Structure 1
Amino acid sequence: MAESGEPETTVDKREKEEKEANSTTEEISFRSLGVTEVLCEACAALNWTTPTAIQRESLPIALKGKDIIGLAETGSGKTAAFALPILQALLDTPTRLFALVLTPTRELAFQISEQFEALGSGIGVKCAVIVGGVDIITQAMALAKKPHIVIATPGRLVDHLENTKGFSLRTLRYLVMDEADRILNMDFETEVDKILKVVPKERHTYLYSATMTRKVQKLQRASLHNPVKVEVSSKYQTVEKLQQSYIFIPSKYKDCYLVSILNELAGNSFMVFCGTCNNVQRTTILLRTLGLHAVPLHGKMPQPKRLGALNKFKTKSRSILVATDVASRGLDIPHVDVVVNFDIPTHSKDYIHRVGRTARAGRSGRSITFVTQYDVELYQRIEQLIGKQLALHPTVEEEVMALMERVTEAQRIARMEMQTAQEKKRERGEEKGAGPRSKKRKKEKIDTTEL
């Protein structure tokens, strides 16, 4: 170190800054933020040693009983940021139907429930997940047992509030809206309004969102009392350890390039994002026909199949998950190595969420975006949003085109399977119809919800 009175060298300054940074990191723990001992032990059991940025900023405020607006990018540890204060408050005043967490998707609801149960395992926390696609009577029985925490999608929760006898939210102390921007983008505004009318005015509210849209600002004014804004990331950005690239290709060769990428990077786990449920199903069949282990995940699958597909991918028994944007938010799958944007997202903000499925919690990852002649404007919007140009992913056209014959045959088989599945659905619908009118209604419904 420089002697007293002498200016510090650049090396001295750097050493000093590193020591200060290290000492700050050492001092910050869940315990130092005010989290009680039993919950600190639960965090340790989950291998959570150091709080993330959003947790460091929000936990002390939440533990003081303040309402919070939390803005942070996907994969930043938002769930623990609201779960720990709720569980700590529940320890002080044990009450049934203590907290409600609203989420945009079913998969995210189950994941949040798992985290609550893991963190609250030492204090006997009971959770109920209330989402569509699951038997409503079974859910009504779960609600009758008065769980401590209810995690729900807005539509199904409103169904229970209107139709399940004896169920109300009068005892609620905490309301959480997770991924609030996505909840509102999915046209749940009417349902959220209905829920806000029946929850107690005297409550704590946490609103967590990746982006602050006009709709979220309106929701904030309607539901929070003197909130504290916690913003970890002020601009749209992707993590540094994510290698982002693109491929510019003719639309008709997209399948060939996808198969080529999957072969080239074999041994990794992939999430392949498509724009529609139909294309997810078609792409999955095509990949399976070519011997690649793919599973689909989209909003029109029955809930048990959705959870089954997700579990197969999480347990690594399948290495490729083909999905719509239903899987782009909040899902924590630690081992995703590569994200492929097979269909470029229509909304550039969705790009951030999709590629956020990889390079999580300090790990590295890779994303590859397919850009066709029809996608140039959408691609330019993405580059403008993230403030950087993507690298061109190197490909050898001759090697890709060598796959053409096999891929064309797989496309033909996929089309036939899709057509057969659609015809079976139509037949089942017509069998269930009681008369000409109901047959017509059922047929129209099937035509619009194919696969």
Structure 2
Amino acid sequence: MQGLDVVGMARTGSGKTAAFVIPLVERLKEHSARAGARAVILSPTRELALQTHKVVKELGRHSNLRTAVLVGGDSMEAQFAELAAFPDILVATPGRLMHHLQEVEGMSLRSCEYLVFDEADRLFEMGFAEQLRQILASVGPSRQTLLFSATMPKALAEFARAGLKEPELVRLDADTKISPDLALAFFTVRWEDKPAALLYLLREVVAADQPTIIFASTRHHVEFLAGLLAQDGLEAAYVHGNMDQAARKIHIAKFRAGRVRLLVVTDVAARGLDIPLLDNVVHYDFPPKPKLFVHRSGRAARAGRSGTSYSLL
């Protein structure tokens, strides 16, 4: 709110989206008819960008601020129309934003006052470093810049030092802590008994109305488990890295809308998915690193709710 640059150490689900959207709405206040976005929020994935855009629309619903979301997998023509309405706020993935900057004559970010790098470590992991530098260079020097990241690798720290002006460090990260509201349950089973153990867990232990996410190690495991659950009368949505955007969107929407209570995912596919009000996490394939276990399990028991993490070992 004071206009300072900020580096926030925060994981998915920590409430950081509201932490940067509320000041953004307060700062911009109302729609400006001049050309050029006044705020740009960069997300590593299409799904996270769409979720962030939804939060921006919700928190800005009492203003006349205009927004646009620029992500891969959607029609360029439809996005051209959104840009023609002179949005105040752009929520975008770096690749699609750079595409528009190159394709749309006269498009510029010089009027941007508020620039957010959300989940910046993942933006770097996914190979967007050079595009981020180009975007940073195209924004006016009087901007306020906010960078949020769960971790701070060396390359990202150097980027922050070069691109931000004496930033304030705010730590919201809890990647090494498990919520006291999260119960942990571990089941030791033989490898060949894991499918049966999962079915027993979902039939006899987990309540039928509780949203549950199931982590598997590969897309083949995801497809196998989705088929196994369907054969047993347990319909599940599923997402893995090889699915096209339309299929991903359909499956995620089914789970979010409550039409199915089970979602089977790989760790890669789950990146950028912030599923609210999740009751249970099931580690069908146990994660190889402790931090990954904490990150997976932390998707339950958020915002004061209780939850359970189940592990098949």
- TM-score, normalised to structure 2, is 0.90
**Larger RCO (CA within 8 A; separation ≥ 6):** 2
Report SS of the residue matched to 1:168. Answer: coil
Residue pair 2:30, 2:65 contacting (<8 A) in 1 also: no
Query: Which residue in the other structure is 1:361 paired with?
Result: 303
Give the C-alpha shift of residue 105 in structure 1: 1.7
Q: Gaps spanning 5+ residues in structure 1: where?
A: 1-62, 372-451
Q: Structure 2 residue aligned with 1:84, among 22, 42, 45?
A: 22
Letter in 1 for 2:279: D
Distance 1:212 1:108 in 2: 20
Residue deviations 1:253-302 (CA, integer Å, cap 9, x gap): 33222222111224122101223333323321221122111011233333
Q: Structure 2 residue aligned with 1:71, among 9, 13, 20?
A: 9
Greater shift after overlay, 98-107 or 346-355? 346-355
Greater shift after overlay, 195-204 or 233-242? 233-242
Distance verdict in 2 for CA 1:300–1:158, change over 3 Å: farther
Residue deviations 1:351-375 (CA, integer Å, cap 9, x gap): 333222210100000112233xxxx
What pairs with 1:53-72 in structure 2 (closer than 5 Å)? Answer: 63-72=1-10
Residue pair 1:74, 1:329 contacting (<8 A) in 2 also: no
Query: Which residue in the other structure is 1:147 paired with?
Result: 87
Report SS of the residue matched to 1:122. Answer: coil
Query: Which residue in the other structure is 2:194 paired with?
Result: 254
Query: Which residue in the other structure is 2:142 paired with?
Result: 202
Residue deviations 1:185-234 (CA, integer Å, cap 9, x gap): 22222322232232223211001112223233122112211100111347
Report SS of the residue matched to 1:121. Answer: coil
Letter in 2 for 1:343: D
Distance verdict in 2 for CA 1:98–1:295, change over 3 Å: same
Residue pair 1:170, 1:200 contacting (<8 A) in 2 also: yes
- Structure with the largest fraction of strand: 2
Give the C-alpha shift of residue 100 in structure 1: 0.9
- Structure with the largest fraction of helix: 1
Distance verdict in 2 for CA 1:139–1:302, change over 3 Å: farther
Distance 1:363 1:327 in 2: 25
Query: Which residue in the other structure is 1:158 paired with?
Result: 98
Distance 1:278 1:124 in 2: 46
Query: Which residue in the other structure is 2:227 paired with?
Result: 285
What pairs with 1:354-433 in structure 2 (closer than 5 Å)? Answer: 354-371=296-313
What pairs with 1:224-263 in structure 2 (closer than 5 Å)? Answer: 224-233=164-173, 236-263=176-203
Query: Which residue in the other structure is 2:128 paired with?
Result: 188
Distance verdict in 2 for CA 1:347–1:141, change over 3 Å: farther
Give the C-alpha shift of residue 308 in structure 1: 2.4
Query: Which residue in the other structure is 1:308 paired with?
Result: 250
Distance verdict in 2 for CA 1:282–1:193, change over 3 Å: farther
Identity %: 40
Letter in 1 for 2:282: V
Is residue 349 from structure 1 mapped to residue 287 from structure 2 by the alignment?
Answer: no
Number of residue pairs the alignment of both structures matches: 309
Report SS of the residue matched to 2:202. Answer: helix
Residue pair 2:30, 2:64 contacting (<8 A) in 1 also: no
What pairs with 1:21-60 in structure 2 (closer than 5 Å)? Answer: none
Distance 1:99 1:75 in 2: 22
Distance verdict in 2 for CA 1:140–1:353, change over 3 Å: farther
Distance 1:223 1:263 in 2: 52
What pairs with 1:261-276 in structure 2 (closer than 5 Å)? Answer: 261-264=201-204, 265-267=206-208, 268-276=210-218
Residue pair 1:280, 1:296 contacting (<8 A) in 2 also: yes
Residue pair 1:143, 1:167 contacting (<8 A) in 2 also: no
Give the C-alpha shift of residue 330 in structure 1: 5.4
Query: Which residue in the other structure is 1:137 paired with?
Result: 77
- TM-score, normalised to structure 1, is 0.64
Distance verdict in 2 for CA 1:235–1:285, change over 3 Å: closer
Residue deviations 1:145-204 (CA, integer Å, cap 9, x gap): 221111112222222222333332221111101111122222222322232232223211
Give the C-alpha shift of residue 83 in structure 1: 0.6
